[in-house]
């Protein structure tokens, strides 16, 4: 959909339904905007070889690249296959819940089910936005404790604490976010289960934050069946303050379009002009991305030859970035969902 496309043949008349501010942004974008790829952007893929103990050559440079021209960082095969298999069996016995993009029961469903009551759930269900100065709701804190116990049972301990101990010598600090008043821990991650279907073929393209380099998304793949499709796709486009202003209509449309899964949007055509970073995750991979860029998981079909569970199972969390990698300074990553 674009401002010119509504009113006939099932399309919406944006001139009648879209606020003037959005039409003005469209006008600015048409005159001065346009997507510009980040030169040389790529995925940085490092073969880990099931060696959580050493992280197989992980370095500060990895994260300098992640926060720069390589917004996808992969430690391939970091998690031991046996641990992946055992944790998958335990987690798939848990209670997965569907969640929707709003409180309305008719709101579009996400393309995965999950274990974990998240900050987004608090906002949708309770109308309360959690902040750095407000007490976290008791339901969120108690649910986080329950889910954390399940995670520790499945993973044989605190996976994120173990990961933090390996990053510490690199001058990279991983800290679990806590309630600012009670100091009780937040939910470290959510368990995601994906099944074939439930998303556009090219994936439900979205962005999780506005400014690149401010937030990271960490994804731990515990079970990825043999499949066609299912690639992680990220579009590395310039998002400095000027580009965010000139292309604000595009970015705001990206934020809204998944609320209308039966509609086509002009953003799809614009993204065709950008070469995406494409990565096919495998069981045991640990993947960091910068979620400020448009990204998605393509739909997939599980092969008849696939052995074991057919669900794609992963852990996901967001990390707030502070500090620096300059000189001997420390990069701080505070994680929770």
Query: Quick one: 310 exposed, middle or buried, by C-beta within 10 A (0-12, 13-18, 19+)?
Result: middle
Q: Which of 199, 204, 222 is nearest to 301 (CA)?
A: 199
| Cα–Cα separations (whole angstroms), residue 326 to 68, 102, 172 | 13, 41, 12
The predicted model scores a pTM of 0.90
| Cα–Cα separations (whole angstroms), residue 148 to 91, 112, 263 | 12, 20, 38
The per-residue pLDDT for 6 is 34
Q: Which of 218, 230, 238, 231 is nearest to 293 (CA)?
A: 238
* CA–CA–CA angle 250, 252, 257 (5° rounding): 90
The per-residue pLDDT for 198 is 73
Asked whether 287 and 181 are in contact (CB, 8 A), the reply is no
Q: Which residues of the chain have pLDDT under 50?
A: 1-16, 51, 53
The per-residue pLDDT for 261 is 79
| Cα–Cα separations (whole angstroms), residue 129 to 121, 123, 321 | 10, 5, 20
Give me the helices (H) in the chain, please.
14-17, 20-32, 60-66, 81-91, 119-121, 138-155, 159-167, 241-246, 248-257, 267-271
Residue 100 β-bridge partners: 109
Residue 171 neighbours by CB under 8 Å, 6+ apart: 60, 325, 328, 329, 330, 331
Residue 106 neighbours by CB under 8 Å, 6+ apart: none
């Amino acid at each position: 959909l674009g401002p010119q496309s509504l009113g006939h043949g099932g399309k919406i008349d944006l001139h009648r339904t879209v606020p003037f501010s959005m039409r003005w942004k469209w006008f600015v974008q048409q005159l001065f905007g346009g997507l510009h790829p980040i030169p040389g952007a790529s995925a940085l893929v490092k073969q880990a070889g099931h060696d959580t103990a050493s992280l197989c050559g992980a370095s500060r440079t990895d994260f300098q690249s992640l926060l720069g021209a390589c917004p996808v960082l992969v430690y391939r095969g970091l998690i031991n296959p046996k641990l992946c298999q055992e944790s998958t069996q335990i987690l798939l016995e848990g209670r997965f819940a569907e969640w929707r993009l709003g409180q309305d029961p008719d709101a579009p469903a996400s393309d995965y089910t999950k274990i974990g009551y998240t900050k987004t759930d608090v906002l949708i269900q309770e109308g309360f936005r959690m902040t750095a100065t407000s007490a976290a709701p008791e339901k969120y804190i108690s649910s986080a404790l329950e889910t954390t116990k399940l995670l520790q049972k499945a993973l044989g301990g605190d996976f994120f604490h173990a990961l933090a101990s390996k990053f510490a010598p690199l001058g990279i600090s991983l800290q679990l976010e806590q309630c600012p008043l009670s100091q009780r821990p937040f939910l470290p991650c959510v368990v995601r289960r994906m099944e074939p279907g439930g998303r556009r073929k090219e994936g439900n393209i979205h962005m999780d934050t506005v400014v690149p380099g401010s937030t990271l998304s960490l994804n731990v793949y515990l079970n990825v069946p043999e499949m066609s499709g299912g690639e992680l796709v990220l579009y590395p486009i310039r998002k400095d303050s000027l580009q965010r202003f000139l292309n604000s209509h595009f970015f705001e449309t990206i934020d809204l379009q998944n609320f209308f899964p039966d509609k086509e949007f002009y953003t799809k055509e614009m993204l065709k002009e950008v070469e995406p970073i494409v990565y096919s995750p495998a069981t045991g991979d640990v993947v960091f991305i910068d979620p400020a860029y448009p990204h998605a998981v393509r739909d997939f079909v599980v092969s008849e030859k696939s052995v074991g569970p057919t669900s794609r199972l992963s852990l996901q969390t967001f990390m707030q970035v502070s500090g620096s990698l300059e000189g001997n300074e420390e990069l701080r990553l505070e994680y929770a969902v």
